Amino acid sequence: MAMSVNDDSSEQPYCFDNFSLQQMDKSSYYQHMTEHKMDSGYLTFSSLSSSYISLQHFSSPTHSLLMQQPSDIPIDNERDLTEDSIQNIRFSSHEDYENYIKTKKYIDIFTRLSQHNAFHLIDKILTNLPVNDIKHCLCVSRNWYKIIGKYYWKQKEHKQLANVKRNLFSCERKSVYEILSQQTPLKQRRPLQQQLQQEHIQHHCLFIPTPVSMNNTTALSSQNHPLRPLTNLPYSSTPAQLTSTALTPIITSINNDQNVDPSNNDNHPFSRLLFSPSSTIVSPRKTYRYEYLKYLHGPTVPKRCPICSYISVVDINDQHGICSNPTCQNNFCYRCSGPYHPLSPCKIKTGPIMSPLKKRQPISPIFSSKTRTNLKRLLLR
Amino acid sequence: MATNVEETYLYSSPTTFKVSSKDGEIFDIDDSFINQSKTIKNMLNVLDIADNHMPIPLQNIKGTMLNAAIVFCKYHKNDLLSIPDDEDEDDFERDAYEPRRSDDISEWDKEFIKQFTVEEGTLFDIIMAANYLDIKALLAVGCKTIANMVRGKNSDQVRQMFNISYDPPGEGLNTPRNSVTSKESGDNQLLTTQEKESRCKTPSPELMYD
């Protein structure tokens, strides 16, 4: 509408009445447009180069229409370009306004693509852009916010989660003894612990700072006790994997040791075992569980493993599940029940596998309590 | 067996077909265009077009855009076979949300796309034409240019570039003036409800494009 009026008036005089552009012959229009540049077929004009609304007008919406540049406005040559005339010309009726919108230079790409249902093209454009540019694109207009908003929030959530996960996975896991050796605990307790350790080692050889000392005790007790060879394996592997079943031979071994050293019979050995600061005695299944709970952050929910249908722990935020079956140890994504993919969206379309217990059994409608009450209600009325 | 015979007939001998655009213009097509656009390849495999004189109608594409696409395919005759399709790979470990490179456009393509501008809407047309014809190289170039235009700009600069107002038409700041219509309020009262609705209705998108 704001085409270069002076140039056109000599060649092809346009009249900007209400229905001028609708009644205009398309053939003459095409001839006119092909002179300048390539033809798009749309009602677009090349000579316009001005913003429709700038940010200054948001502060004063009452003056926004006044302050707009006159090039955007349908203008007749007869009238002057004073403010009052602009007010009168601009949108004197709804039809004029409609004409203005139709003939406005309409180059809004994202809304056009969305109107053509070409969302895969929007995807292709936005995959080239980083987050900050998409953030600027959100603020452009309301339509753009509706279109691009999905992509932006999805991307932002994924970025945050990815950073957290990277930090978790990057930290090197260390055994308890390495951490204890590096850490410097409070100064008052340090000598006490050392004293206790020394006492333990001297009296019973029960306290186990290293697996070597454990092997010494086993070597001593294996001669006497018949159950000893069954429980050799967990001792030799790591001290953290001490089993609860292995407690009884320890006590028996202690009893055997007491016979060797009869000087300290006063303290019960089991009480000292509980106070041991570094070594933790838990079942191997539990240790495995605590290990994978480190990798999952945030609240967790018990779900079913898609492979072995065993109970597994699933993170709520990321839907990252780990099977608690120590033989399976399956890392899976709960959304798609495929292998776990930390950074990419789901590509398999099989949904989460629901437990068969959740299926409600079909109850015949006659015998249910609700229908009975409803029938009563209806009959009374 | 019949399809195999047609394929051999297509790819062994250099044949020319004719294509008619929306405007009625007729173009000749080489093997370079047929191999790169999947839709025409499928059309020729499905349809039995024995006569080369009859043009294939493509109603969604304008003549200028089709001519440009043919020029593009002639230049990229040998390039496409070497480029693999990275998008179809199913890598679970690949970071899909990491931005890809958009600086891969060659110099010839940059000059080629300078013909099409945002202001006239031709860039949009060429992207839609490439989408219809399934020419992956042209579509990638078109999408990358739009991404390069938007990159590193404020929302205000983007608004100036695309000539967009914040509010959609007919809402917010873009509402038609009430002060002028108040003078003609007597006329408006006499109108029937159907006429009022027809006037107040925002124009449908179909009117904008044709």
Share of residues in chain B with pLDDT > 70 (%) = 58
Q: What is the mean pLDDT of residues A180-185?
A: 50
* Subunit contact B96:A345, Cβ cutoff 8 A: yes
**Cβ contacts (< 8 Å) between B130 and chain A: which residues?**
none
Domain residue spans of chain A: 93-180, 298-342
Task: Find the residue in A nearest to B188 (Cα).
Answer: A93
**Is B201 inside a domain boundary?**
yes
Q: What is the DSSP string of A186-242?
A: -TTHHHHHHHHHHHHHHHTS---SSHHHHHHHHHHHTTT-TTGGGGHHHHHH-GGG-
A103 burial level (CB within 10 Å; 0-12, 13-18, 19+): buried
Task: Find the residue in A nearest to B199 (Cα).
Answer: A94
With contact defined as beta carbons under 8 Å apart, do A326 and A285 qualify? Answer: yes
Same domain, B177 and B102: no
pLDDT score for A247: 43
Asked if pLDDT for residue A186 goes beyond 70, the answer is no
* Rounded CA separation A123/A195 (Å): 66
Q: Is A327 helix (H, G, I), strand (E, B) or coil?
A: coil
Asked if pLDDT for residue A255 goes beyond 70, the answer is no
Same domain, B32 and B107: yes
Sign of CA dihedral A34, A35, A38, A42: negative
Residues in Cβ contact with A333 at an 8 Å cutoff, skipping those fewer than 6 apart: A319, A320, A321, A339, A340, A341, A346
Q: How many Cβ atoms from other residues are within 10 Å of residue B165's Cβ?
A: 22
Is pLDDT larger for residue B183 or for residue B59? B59
pLDDT score for A286: 52
Instruction: Indicate the helix (H) or strand (E) that contains B185.
Output: helix B185-190
* CA angle centred on B6, ends B3 and B9, rounded to 5°: 155
Same domain, B40 and B106: yes
* Subunit contact B93:A342, Cβ cutoff 8 A: yes
The tokens for A370 are 């609700």
* Subunit contact B168:A42, Cβ cutoff 8 A: no
pTM: 0.44
* Rounded CA separation A276/B62 (Å): 83
| Facing residue for A136 by CB, picked from B97, B155, B176 | B155
The 10s digit of each residue's pLDDT in A314-351 is 887 778 888 877 788 788 888 888 888 877 777 777 77
* Rounded CA separation A348/A335 (Å): 9
Give me the domain span that covers residue B173.
Answer: 167-210
Which of A227-236, A264-273, B176-185 has the weakest average pLDDT?
A227-236
The tokens for A78 are 């007869």
Instruction: Indicate the helix (H) or strand (E) that contains B34.
Output: helix B31-36
Is pLDDT larger for residue A140 or for residue B209? A140
pLDDT score for B98: 65
**Cβ contacts (< 8 Å) between B121 and chain A: which residues?**
40, 42, 44, 106-107
Considering B15-19, B69-73, B161-165, B186-190, the range whose residues carry the highest mean pLDDT is B69-73
With contact defined as beta carbons under 8 Å apart, do A106 and B169 qualify? Answer: no
Instruction: Indicate the helix (H) or strand (E) that contains A135.
Output: helix A131-138
* Rounded CA separation A363/A354 (Å): 21
Task: Find the residue in A nearest to B93 (Cα).
Answer: A341
Alpha-carbon gap: B35 to the closest alpha carbon of chain A (Å): 22
Q: What is the mean pLDDT of residues B88-94?
A: 47
Residue of B171, B185, B156 lying closest to A101 (CA atoms): B171
* Subunit contact B150:A88, Cβ cutoff 8 A: no
Name which CATH class applies to A93-180: mainly alpha
Same domain, B61 and B15: yes
The tokens for A283 are 């079942």
Same domain, B56 and B107: yes
* Rounded CA separation A333/A306 (Å): 9
Alpha-carbon gap: B189 to the closest alpha carbon of chain A (Å): 14
Alpha-carbon gap: A132 to the closest alpha carbon of chain B (Å): 8
Same domain, B121 and B176: no
Same domain, B24 and B103: yes
Backbone angles phi and psi of A217, in degrees to 5: -65, -40
What is the pairing mode between strands A320-323 and B26-29? Answer: unpaired
* Subunit contact B95:A344, Cβ cutoff 8 A: yes
* Subunit contact B159:A140, Cβ cutoff 8 A: yes
The tokens for A169 are 């996975």
Asked if pLDDT for residue A306 goes beyond 60, the answer is yes
Q: Tally the domains of chain B.
A: 2
pLDDT score for B45: 81
**Beta bridge pairs of residue A339:** A332
Q: What is the mean pLDDT of residues A49-77?
A: 38
With contact defined as beta carbons under 8 Å apart, do B125 and A40 qualify? Answer: yes
* Rounded CA separation A135/A145 (Å): 10
Q: What is the DSSP string of A262-305?
A: TT--SS-HHHHHHH-SS-----HHHHHHHHHHHHS-S-EEEEE-
The tokens for B38 are 């999947």
Which of A131-135, A231-235, B57-61 has the weakest average pLDDT?
A231-235
The 10s digit of each residue's pLDDT in A353-369 is 766 666 655 556 566 66
Is pLDDT larger for residue B209 or for residue A312? A312
Same domain, B177 and B73: no
What does the radius of gyration of chain B's CA atoms come to, in whole angstroms? 24
The tokens for B195 are 């006429």
What is the pLDDT confidence band of residue A16, given thresholds at 50, 70 and 90?
very low
**Cβ contacts (< 8 Å) between B168 and chain A: which residues?**
141-143
**Is B175 inside a domain boundary?**
yes
Q: What is the mean pLDDT of residues A167-195?
A: 48
* Rounded CA separation B143/A24 (Å): 34
Same domain, B105 and B146: yes
Q: From the candidates B86, B115, B150, B210, which should be mutated to test the interface with A, based on the most A CB atoms within 10 A?
A: B150
**Beta bridge pairs of residue A303:** A312
The tokens for A137 are 């694109």
Same domain, B115 and B27: yes
The 10s digit of each residue's pLDDT in A295-304 is 666 677 888 8
* Subunit contact B95:A105, Cβ cutoff 8 A: no
**Cβ contacts (< 8 Å) between A55 and chain B: which residues?**
156
Which of A241-245, A321-325, B35-39, B157-161 has the weakest average pLDDT?
A241-245
With contact defined as beta carbons under 8 Å apart, do A88 and B107 qualify? Answer: no
* Subunit contact A42:B209, Cβ cutoff 8 A: yes
Fold of A298-342: N-terminal domain of TfIIb (2.20.25)
First to last CA, chain B: 44
Same domain, B107 and B66: yes
pLDDT score for B76: 84
With contact defined as beta carbons under 8 Å apart, do B1 and B21 qualify? Answer: no
* Subunit contact A101:B140, Cβ cutoff 8 A: no
**Is B160 inside a domain boundary?**
no
* Subunit contact A137:B159, Cβ cutoff 8 A: no
What is the pairing mode between strands B56-57 and B17-20? Answer: parallel
* Subunit contact A44:B119, Cβ cutoff 8 A: yes
With contact defined as beta carbons under 8 Å apart, do B86 and B101 qualify? Answer: no
Is pLDDT larger for residue A283 or for residue B135? B135
Same domain, B21 and B103: yes
